[in-house]
Chain A
């Protein structure tokens, strides 16, 4: 469904993505792991169009993404749950959800996400719908960021460190939500530092180091491979 082929990305003269190649097939959840500064967020931003790649191809379904702008990429069906949540601070919870709302284009029998459905999934957001987004706790903000992306009815979700800065109980909840979303047929590329969460929800694990994918395999494979864990994830 999503395929990166030898993608190279720079910030000014610093060479960040040094030939990234991987793919995510439909209905799957792939987790991208790696140390701080490995280039995970850059990968997510390059797919979402927030950062332009210099070379390589990014294909989503039958479309090339690399020359499209972020709003066009979003309209192809890619939703973004960014690192640090990036909740709009001058908008209420409800406005954060409705400002970008879009109906599902394809009539494929999947859930058509709207305000009601989001509130069903995250009842706490309904309770706090009149609050400003930034008055929520970290976990609630993460749910809001997920809800906001779902409101655009994506077929593919990019999630950048959804567990960052959250308490262990909340991380478990986030994991359950991701599994639920997968069951609705959503394909997911998730960046994580929390190996346990990644292994719980993902079908496949990728490890990135210095802008390259250096390992890929199953969650079980990673759990058994202490050398890789030690070398690239600092465990």
Chain B
């Protein structure tokens, strides 16, 4: 029983991590119709930035903040310089963001090398919570908490603020939003930067859980794409549910069928797509 609960927490923690990554990906997809294949490398970059600043004896939290800010700034630069030229051009988007992911991954290798690295769990959270005979690592609980907080924040931004209304309106009818005096280009830059910052944040928080290694960017990208597809393209609420699903199933899969865990996740994606082709929360395609 206690092992089961501990596994469940691990699954939830991974799920929340997947949610944080997939949220950025799916929001960018939903708002501007861009599949950002460089999202995984932004995640990796987020982890390495924290790694660098921690090595400089900075506190984990300050390093995390720097990582979020730097990935957001990188997001602004990428959108203004490159992405904005390929809106509406799907093939170009794929080539551009895929190319970017190679470039960023190579820069990461060049700066930080190819050795595996880990981020230490921040001191404040380097403890466990015991309830009866069950032991829960505090950091995993913390990641679950942050994931829920992020969901709450997204819900608030989307449904209770003016910028949320503008973004939803932009999904409905982008040209009309412009004709009402809103600078849609600026909104897009902001959304892209927000998505990039979410990748940076999840990289920073994920570092202590999964470490950093060559190829992690692609693994993370594939997993978050699966999450986005199961949840329904462009729906962060769908991604919340599907990320938990994927995180938990993957974790239990690793215990019970170690060699098949990824396969199980793919199977679930297939089943969902057969029953609901638009994903759990996707907009119905007319």
Contact = CB atoms under 8 A, between A and B. Distances in A.
B186 to A, nearest CB: 9
Given A88-B172, A88-B173, A91-B172, A99 B165 contact: yes
Chain A interface bracket (under 10, 10 to 19, 20 to 34, 35 or more): 20 to 34
A88 B181 contact: no
B184 interface: yes
A102 B178 CA distance: 14
A49 B180 CA distance: 11
Contact of B166 (A48, A70, A99, A148): A99
Given A70-B175, A82-B176, A98 B181 contact: no
B80 interface: no
Interface in B159-194: 162, 165-166, 168-169, 171-173, 175-184
Interface in A60-111: 69-71, 73-75, 80, 82, 86, 88-91, 95-96, 98-100, 102
Contacts of B173: 86, 88
A140 interface: no
Interface in A142-165: 148-149, 152
B168 A90 contact: yes
A37 B117 CA distance: 65
Given A91-B165, A99-B169, A152 B176 contact: no
Given A98-B162, A98-B165, A74 B171 contact: no
A50 interface: yes
A69 B186 CA distance: 13
Contacts of B180: 71, 74, 80, 99-100, 148-149, 152
A89 B172 contact: yes
Given A91-B165, A95-B165, A100 B182 contact: yes
Contact of A50 (B166, B175, B181): B175
Chain B interface bracket (under 10, 10 to 19, 20 to 34, 35 or more): 10 to 19
A98 B160 CA distance: 12
Contacts of B177: 99-100
Contacts of A73: 179
A148 B165 CA distance: 13
A149 B179 CA distance: 9
Nearest to A82: B176
A182 B184 CA distance: 30
Nearest to B181: A74
Interface string A155-177: 00000000000000000000000
Given A86-B176, A88-B176, A100 B181 contact: yes
Given A88-B169, A90-B171, 9 more contacts: A70-B175, A71-B180, A71-B181, A73-B179, A74-B178, A74-B179, A74-B180, A88-B172, A100-B182
24 contacts: A49-B178, A49-B179, A50-B175, A50-B178, A50-B179, A70-B175, A70-B178, A71-B178, A71-B182, A74-B178, A74-B179, A75-B181, A80-B176, A86-B176, A88-B169, A89-B172, A90-B168, A95-B169, A99-B165, A99-B166, A100-B166, A100-B177, A102-B181, A148-B180
Ordered nearest first, which 9 A-B pairs have the shortest CB separation?
Answer: A74-B181, A100-B180, A70-B178, A88-B169, A99-B165, A95-B165, A88-B172, A80-B179, A70-B179
Interface of A: 48-50, 69-71, 73-75, 80, 82, 86, 88-91, 95-96, 98-100, 102, 148-149, 152
